[in-house]
Amino acid sequence: MSAEANLAGLYPPTGQQIFEPILKWQPIPVHTVPQSEERLLSYPLGDCPRYKQLMNESKHTEEYLKVKAKYQDTIELLRIKTGLNETNVDSAWSVYDILFCESRHNMSAPDWVTPDVMEKLRVLKDFGFQVTFGVYKQQEKSRLQGGILLGENSKESSKMAAPRPETETEIDDAVIA
């Protein structure tokens, strides 16, 4: 849906592409793969041993341990109130995200969700994302997680920048190569 929304904004229909005057949209194919095969947009990649090692080391840094200690009461509150088996700095974002989205749709929150709790969850969520790419060995973590997408973008951009064949012979030669 995000890809389609972005494409609708980037490529609004013009002229004959407009099939419904009040709808400034045109169909643009978006190709996807099953979540289990997603390697470009899903992060962090769980099957990267080096990234797992870096994340484990990140959780032993002074900065991480300070945040964990400061918000331990909030993390424990999540465990008690949500029934999640494992609550920690990393899992706080999912609870925050659900509560945030529900609030935007005018759904009422459970009694334990006060503005103070939401603020603490927001801080934990933000810190959790910082840990994903930073806090410890930021450059290496970023390369391991973002490098796959950047590499694919670079490869596809290079293809687009390559001269295109203009004659049938050049097309045949390109297909054979």
Q: Note down pLDDT in tens along the chain; length 177 residues.
A: 888 888 888 888 888 888 888 888 888 888 888 877 777 776 666 677 888 888 888 889 899 899 899 999 988 888 888 888 888 888 888 888 888 888 888 888 888 888 898 899 898 888 888 888 777 777 777 777 776 777 777 777 777 776 665 666 665 565 565
pLDDT value, residue 10: 87
Vertex 151, ends 150 and 156: CA angle to 5°?
100
Instruction: Answer whether residue 19 is part of any domain.
Output: yes
Q: Are residues 128 and 54 in the same domain?
A: yes
Looking at the structure, do residues 67 and 18 belong to the same domain, yes or no? no
Q: Is residue 145 part of a domain?
A: yes
Please tell me the predicted confidence (pLDDT) of residue 8. Answer: 85
| Chain centroid, CA 140 distance in Å | 18
At 62 the pLDDT is 92
Q: Are 40 and 51 in contact (CB under 8 A)?
A: no
Residue 65 in domain: yes
The reply to whether 161 falls in a domain is: no
Residues 6 and 62 in one domain: no
Mark whether 25 and 73 lie in a shared domain.
no
- Asked if residue 160 is part of any domain, the answer here is no
For 79, counting Cβ atoms within 10 Å of its Cβ (0-12 exposed, 13-18 middle, 19+ buried), the class is middle
* Helix axes of 138-161 and 115-133: crossing angle, nearest 10 degrees: 70
- The Cα-based distances of 89 to 121, 132, 160, 163 in angstroms read 9, 11, 42, 49
The reply to whether 87 and 133 lie within a common domain is yes
Distance, CA of 151 to CA of 148 (rounded, Å): 5
Same domain for 9 and 66, yes or no, is no
Q: State the amino acid at position 28 in one-letter form.
A: I
pTM exceeding 0.75: no
> Residue 97: its pLDDT value, please?
87
Could you give the number of structural domains in the chain?
2
- Is residue 157 situated within a structural domain? no
User: For residues 17 and 141, what is the distance between their CA atoms, to the nearest angstrom?
Assistant: 43
Q: Nearest 5 degrees, angle CA 61-CA 122-CA 35? A: 85
Would you say residue 162 lies in a domain? no
Assess whether 22 and 83 both reside in one domain. no
Same domain, 71 and 114: yes
Residue 74 and residue 5 share a domain: no
State residue 174's pLDDT score: 57
User: What's the confidence (pLDDT) of residue 66?
Assistant: 93
In a domain, 13, yes or no: yes
pLDDT of residue 162: 67
Name the residue among 128, 152, 156 with its Cα closest to residue 55: 128
State whether 25 and 87 are in the same domain: no
Alpha carbons 82 and 110: distance in angstroms, whole number = 10
Q: Which domain holds residue 95?
A: 49-152
Residues 137 and 55: their CA atoms lie apart, in Å, by: 9
Residue 86: per-residue pLDDT: 81
Residues 56 and 141 occupy one common structural domain: yes
Q: Are residues 76 and 110 in the same domain?
A: yes
